[in-house]
Amino acid sequence: MQERDLDQVAALEQEIFSEPWSRQGFADSYQKKENCYLVVEEDGQVLAYCGLWSVLDEADICNVAVRKEARRRGVAEAMLKMLILEGKKLGVAAFTLEVRIGNTPAVALYRKLGFRDAGVRPGFYTKPDEDALIMWYRPGSE
């Protein structure tokens, strides 16, 4: 992710999420050395983005978003595989994320990538209210 991507990322965030991050939130986050944010672009348009925040050897994957017309094309899978590789370069040995329990396509993708269910955060999401499934991936422990 670069400065030039922020307007498109923030606009896509507004379209997809019920409690979206601001442009400034992304600007503050993507520049931190312990974080990594990626975008997928096609013809100058941001199709997808994701990020991770690392602390020591663990990382929280956040802001996974794919433009509706780009879904079911393998974009998210390729992007997340790259994010994990970049995380490993930062020294990350374990990755976690939360996902809406009802987001079955995302849950299936994460499981395909090796993430395993680790618990539930009741009422984690709002607008609409929904529990979050906590998932972890530890490369090499598959």
Note if 69 is an active site residue.
Answer: no
Structure tokens at 14: 């507004």
| Among 13, 37, 49, 98, the one annotated catalytic | 98
Note if 110 is an active site residue.
Answer: yes
Give the whole-angstrom CA distance, residue 33 versus residue 131: 31
| Among 30, 49, 110, 137, the one annotated catalytic | 110
Catalytic residue ranges: 98, 110
